[in-house]
């Protein structure tokens, strides 16, 4: 690529504000692409913290404030985007989220861009009939598809009839150096700040409070573990200004378990919080591929996760963690008890998980695979 013009890549995303899975992925790609080979641009329907941050890194960012796709405002923005693509000489358009796929994919084609990529980050739980109709009838709009796991790849193939040769799986990657263990004094201090006891085993989760994340299954599982109520505590980290959080709190109160749970809300020090946990759990109904899982594994935590979506591609069952039947609080309780009762198993699984992340889910590996796709 020496002395050649960098490949110009436009990323179109529906929401680029707080750090959800897709947003975190795009942030990492934007910040770590080789700027000698690639010049990235960003168009976001809705912006906020992330759009501001990325713009301070010397990357061109525009927020279109798009709501409904079928509106005069959106049509005007489509015309503006078409002109922008042509004037900048964009080589590749990459879209995240279904509305951005429709908007970005169609405008890119109209602008004459031949390389268009749709990034799929989940199993499609938010897709409506109109989105599926678009994907099935207009799949030709995209020259390629990127999926976050083989489970998502297989679902895209099944649901939309996309040839698997047009789909590449690239797993999430994390900067393992940013997830280092805290010393024991800092750990105890943080636990005191959060009202946690150093004499109890801590079960932890990192997930926004939305129905798809299934925190109610964890609450029901904890209720079933009566003999452990005096020996455990649960911390759930994540955005909790939602109606679902209220539902979860009410369930906890109805069981009389309020003394067992701590909710610190959204935090920017997730690494510190992971380091005070003994077992990491997710209880989501479905996951494309969980960033939270590999972050927990990177600090040596054993993981308990539902056997759905791409979870089995991150967690080696009974080696780096334990998989349970999705949406089954009884099975979740059984798997948690198995780990709670065996300290040595927790240590062995934690070491295995850390080794897996170091070898397979590093940030450098992920960026290298993205760059290879863009170069091809």
The string of DSSP letters for 205-228 reads EE--S-GGG-HHHHHHHHHH-GGG
- Are both 197 and 220 inside the same structural domain? yes
Query: What was the pLDDT predicted at 1?
Result: 45
pLDDT greater at residue 18 or residue 211 = 211
Residue 189 lies in a domain: yes
Question: What is the value of pTM for the model shown?
Answer: 0.91
Mean residue pLDDT of the chain comes to 94
Residue 33 lies in a domain: yes
Query: What was the pLDDT predicted at 196?
Result: 95
For the segment 106-133, the average pLDDT, to the nearest whole number, is: 93
- Are both 135 and 181 inside the same structural domain? no
- Are both 278 and 305 inside the same structural domain? yes
Q: What is the DSSP letter of 89?
A: T
Q: pLDDT for 66-98, tens place per residue?
A: 998 989 999 999 999 999 999 999 999 999 999
Query: What was the pLDDT predicted at 182?
Result: 61
Query: What was the pLDDT predicted at 277?
Result: 96
For the segment 310-338, the average pLDDT, to the nearest whole number, is: 97
Question: To the nearest whole percent, how much of the chain has pLDDT over 70?
Answer: 98
CA 3 to chain centre: 36
- Are both 214 and 284 inside the same structural domain? yes
- How many domains, the chain? 2
- Are both 89 and 221 inside the same structural domain? no
287-314 as b/e, with b when 16 or more CB fall inside 10 Å?
bbbbbbbbbbbbbbbbbbbbebbbbbbb
- Are both 371 and 256 inside the same structural domain? no
- Are both 155 and 191 inside the same structural domain? no
- Are both 120 and 211 inside the same structural domain? no
In whole angstroms, what is the distance from residue 261 CA to residue 245 CA?
13
Q: pLDDT for 171-218, tens place per residue?
A: 999 998 877 666 666 788 899 999 999 999 999 999 999 999 999 999
pLDDT at 2 over 60: no
Residue 209 lies in a domain: yes
CA 14 to chain centre: 15
Strand partners, 234: 203, 261
For strands 167-169 and 144-147, give the pairing: parallel
Residue 2 lies in a domain: no
Which of 276, 209, 281, 199 has the alpha carbon at shortest distance from 248?
Answer: 209
Q: pLDDT for 227-261, tens place per residue?
A: 999 999 999 999 999 999 999 999 999 999 999 99
Q: Are 174 and 360 in contact (CB under 8 A)?
A: no
In whole angstroms, what is the distance from residue 135 CA to residue 98 CA?
9
For residue 55, give the CATH number of its domain: 3.40.50.2000
In whole angstroms, what is the distance from residue 77 CA to residue 103 CA?
10
For the segment 43-63, the average pLDDT, to the nearest whole number, is: 95
- Are both 129 and 239 inside the same structural domain? no
**Residue ranges making up the domain that contains 214:** 176-360
């Amino acid at each position: 690529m020496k002395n050649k013009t960098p490949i110009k890549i436009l990323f179109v995303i529906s929401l680029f504000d707080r750090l959800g899975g897709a947003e975190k992925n795009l942030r990492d790609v934007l910040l770590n692409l080789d700027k000698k080979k690639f010049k990235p641009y960003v168009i976001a329907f809705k912006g906020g913290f992330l759009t501001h941050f990325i713009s301070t890194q010397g990357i061109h960012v525009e927020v279109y404030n798009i709501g409904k796709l079928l509106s005069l405002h959106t049509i005007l923005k489509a015309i503006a985007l078409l002109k922008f693509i042509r004037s900048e000489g964009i080589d590749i358009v990459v879209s995240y989220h279904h509305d951005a796929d429709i908007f970005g994919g169609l405008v890119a084609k109209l602008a004459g861009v031949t390389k268009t990529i749709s990034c799929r980050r989940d199993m499609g739980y938010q897709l409506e009939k109109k989105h599926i109709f678009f994907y099935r009838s207009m799949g030709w709009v995209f020259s390629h598809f990127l999926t976050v796991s083989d489970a998502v790849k297989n679902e895209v193939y099944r649901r939309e009839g996309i040839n698997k040769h047009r789909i590449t799986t690239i797993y999430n990657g994390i900067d393992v150096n940013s997830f280092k263990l805290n010393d024991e004094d800092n750990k105890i201090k943080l636990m005191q700040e959060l009202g946690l006891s150093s004499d109890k085993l801590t079960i932890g989760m990192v997930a926004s409070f939305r129905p798809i994340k299934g925190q109610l299954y964890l609450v029901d599982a904890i209720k079933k573990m009566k003999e452990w109520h005096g020996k455990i505590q649960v911390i759930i980290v994540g955005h909790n200004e939602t109606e679902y959080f209220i539902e979860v709190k009410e369930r906890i109160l109805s069981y009389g378990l309020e003394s067992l749970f701590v909710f610190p809300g959204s935090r920017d020090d997730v690494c510190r919080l992971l380091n005070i946990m003994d077992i990491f759990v997710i209880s989501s109904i479905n996951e494309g591929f969980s960033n939270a899982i590999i972050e927990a594994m990177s600090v040596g935590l054993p993981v308990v996760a539902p056997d759905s979506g791409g979870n089995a591609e991150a967690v080696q069952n009974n080696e780096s963690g334990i998989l349970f039947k999705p949406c089954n609080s009884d099975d979740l309780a059984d798997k948690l008890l198995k780990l709670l009762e065996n300290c040595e198993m927790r240590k062995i699984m934690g070491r295995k998980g850390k080794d897996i992340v170091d070898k397979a889910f590093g940030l450098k590996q992920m960026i290298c695979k993205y760059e290879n796709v863009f170069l091809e």
